[in-house]
Chains A and B, each alone.
Chain A
């Protein structure tokens, strides 16, 4: 039997009373909160979504004992943190950088995930006892641990039947979430949904205003930037030392810079907007338009004479992308001075070379007369020396001839007399002119002719002989005694081309120097060692001759590999190839005359 039955009952009654009173107080608080919140439903133009959320928190949240809340916004398969109150910056920043993926199975086990996926409220009374927490990534657990909440309630926010996002209430202490509390929290979430819905529908002016101001600011910045860029470009174009003309996609003149205005002696404002053909009607522009052609094709640094005393290098560059053509830019680079200097140089070389021939002839004749005994008899030793001097002088004469040829090539006065001729006999002539040297060096030379005789083609015979001679000269010079030279002549029916090959068994052309072989005065190191007397002009001249005939010239070195006397493999030989078009007429050639 109980010692103090009435005392115990009194105590129980007191406890019950207190509990009821407490509960009443809690209920009262909560009712108060709900009342206040309902006020929020009345839409207020001055409030932004953030404001509403903050008020919500300050009233209801506090009443419920929640210390923080967060609204997450749904974005496709992600939840992005949107509005927070009461949570630390680290938490916010972490989830800004790492939106929650609803496709992640670990997330679907969290309150947040469940609220978003199942669209039902989800309660986690104690985070750390919750089994799902173990499968979350380390980084999320750490972000959560930095905060100090232990319990979470998540509510889906449904607006117009779509998931707007999730509202999370965070509690420091573990919560039991009795039905009344769940009910109140749900009510709060509903209110939040309505508030958001209102905000979206009416686009809270404050939000809108802020948004618009942002957009305006961005636009201003972008505009200023683009204006600045434009100004920079304008300054560059105006002060550019080359003439610039810009034609738009319809080939109408869009822009002309001051330098170009000076070149043509025009004022930009008078001609902007004119098409290319309209410009062609103006006398100053006629040659220019003619040169460009109707379609403004791409040109790279071609010389063009704008007017007397003004020669430019003209380039046409296409502007825009493959999809969108913006137009074409014409650049005029003044090279008048360079042309004058070049002409003076060529004239000087031409004049000097010519003047040199007289004393060289005098020396040649004197030495010859000495050698012929016209000026008395000579000892063998004297003869020897004078003979060497004679040879040396011959080389000087040859060099002077080459220099003169080069100046004539540069002046464009090189090809003289095109005529129908038999290429086979030209080659044979060239071979024959080396008969003596070939015999001396005991070289074998074979000329393979085509079975069917090639018809005559138009060539400048004298120059073509010279070109072939230069090639044979190299073959003979750089092949050691006893070597073989193969020359072949063929006709390609399909390409309507004649092809000549000159193959030697000589020392070849070093790979590193092959790109310079056709340049003026260039001699490869191995050639220099063998023969110090070459001018380095032979191939330059030969190339010019072949190309003036619209042919091509190229080479392959080494030509073959051979085992030498010691059994070691050696790379040897060079093959020079050139082609000539086998047509009776070609326009460019005739234009040169």
Chain B
């Protein structure tokens, strides 16, 4: 069973995703901020990371950069899940190595699952 790490600071949103993921039979790990996220990545080496960008402390871009700079972690696919919609952010995120960039207010939980499945193939 694959493990998915959800890095999201809003509790309600985080639990919604978790609930949806649980139905698809994934192992779920959670982090509420960037530092906790990095710790868990290093410790658990998940199969995929769902990464929010606006986080307390270090933001999602920094987390992404750190992961991709670490040869042991850089292979893990990262899907950005954020409300920052401007093109400049999308390009920055994809430029840093994310495999996909999803906008929360535009996407549905079902679609998130589809994207995760696609990335894990």
Contacts and interface: CB of A to CB of B under 8 A. Distances in A.
19 contacts: A357-B83, A361-B13, A361-B104, A362-B10, A362-B16, A364-B105, A365-B17, A365-B104, A366-B16, A368-B110, A372-B109, A374-B20, A397-B106, A401-B105, A404-B85, A408-B86, A416-B86, A416-B87, A416-B88
Among A360, A362, A365, find the residue whose CB has the most chain B CB atoms closer than 10 A: A365
Nearest to A417: B87
B28 to A, nearest CB: 15
Interface in B18-53: 19-20, 23
B13 A365 contact: yes
Contact of A358 (B13, B23, B87, B109): B13
A41 to B, nearest CB: 107
Contacts of B108: 364-365, 368
A16 interface: no
B87 to A, nearest CB: 5
Nearest to B52: A358
Interface in A199-236: none
Interface residues of B, number: 19
A365 B83 contact: no
A11 to B, nearest CB: 139
B10 A369 contact: no
Interface in B65-121: 83, 85-88, 104-106, 108-110
| Interface bin, chain A | 20 to 34
A364 B108 CA distance: 7
Nearest to B81: A361
Interface in A340-370: 354, 357-358, 360-362, 364-366, 368-369
A397 B109 contact: no
B111 to A, nearest CB: 9
A417 B87 CA distance: 9
Nearest to B109: A365
B56 to A, nearest CB: 13
Among A354, A357, A360, A404, find the residue whose CB has the most chain B CB atoms closer than 10 A: A357
Nearest 5 interchain pairs by C-beta:
A361-B104, A357-B83, A368-B108, A397-B105, A365-B16
Interface of B: 10, 12-13, 16-17, 19-20, 23, 83, 85-88, 104-106, 108-110
Interface string A370-397: 0010100000000000000000000001
A444 B47 CA distance: 49
Interface of A: 354, 357-358, 360-362, 364-366, 368-369, 372, 374, 397, 400-401, 404, 408, 416-417, 462
Contact of B12 (A362, A372, A400): A362
A374 B87 CA distance: 32
B110 A362 contact: no
Nearest to B108: A368
Nearest to A408: B86
A366 B109 CA distance: 9
A369 B16 contact: yes
B23 A374 contact: yes
Nearest to A375: B19
B88 A361 contact: no
A397 B103 CA distance: 12
Nearest to B23: A374
A375 to B, nearest CB: 9
Given A358-B10, A358-B13, A362-B13, A369 B109 contact: yes
A372 B110 contact: yes
B110 A360 contact: no
Given A361-B105, A362-B13, A397-B105, A369 B20 contact: yes
Given A366-B16, A416-B88, 10 more contacts: A357-B105, A358-B10, A361-B13, A361-B83, A365-B13, A374-B19, A397-B105, A400-B105, A416-B86, A416-B87
Contacts of A362: 10, 12-13, 16
A362 B109 CA distance: 10
A416 B85 CA distance: 13
A374 B104 CA distance: 19
A374 B20 CA distance: 8
A358 B83 contact: yes
Contacts of A365: 13, 16-17, 20, 104, 108-109
Among B10, B16, B19, B106, find the residue whose CB has the most chain A CB atoms closer than 10 A: B16
Contacts of B17: 365
Contacts of B104: 357-358, 361, 365
A361 B82 CA distance: 10
Contacts of A404: 85
A360 to B, nearest CB: 6
